[in-house]
Amino acid sequence: MSRALEAVILIGVAVLAVLLVVAILLNFELFLTVLILLLLLALVAVVVLGLIGLIAAVPFYLLKGGREPEPGSYSVEDVKAVKEDERK
């Protein structure tokens, strides 16, 4: 990109930022209302996605059979040192 185009884009972004700040200052109550609504919308989206994930997990759990793992009888002597595994 040429330097002139980069300068025009930078100036355009700066003008938009200034216009946004002026609009916020003129309509601060509206800005706060929109901000709160966006935060609530994001919270609702997170809750809905969490519920969908929970609902989707139930069939996988049922397909697995929902069994508990079989208990084992392990002792400290059964554990091998990491250095022994590295030698092989």
Residue 53 DSSP symbol: H
Q: How far apart are the first and last CA of the chain?
A: 57
- Give the pLDDT of residue 80: 73
Tokens of 67: 């069994």
Most confident segment among 31-35, 46-50, 57-61, 66-70:
46-50
Q: How confident is the model at residue 35 (pLDDT cuts 50, 70, 90)?
A: confident
**Predicted structure pTM score:** 0.48
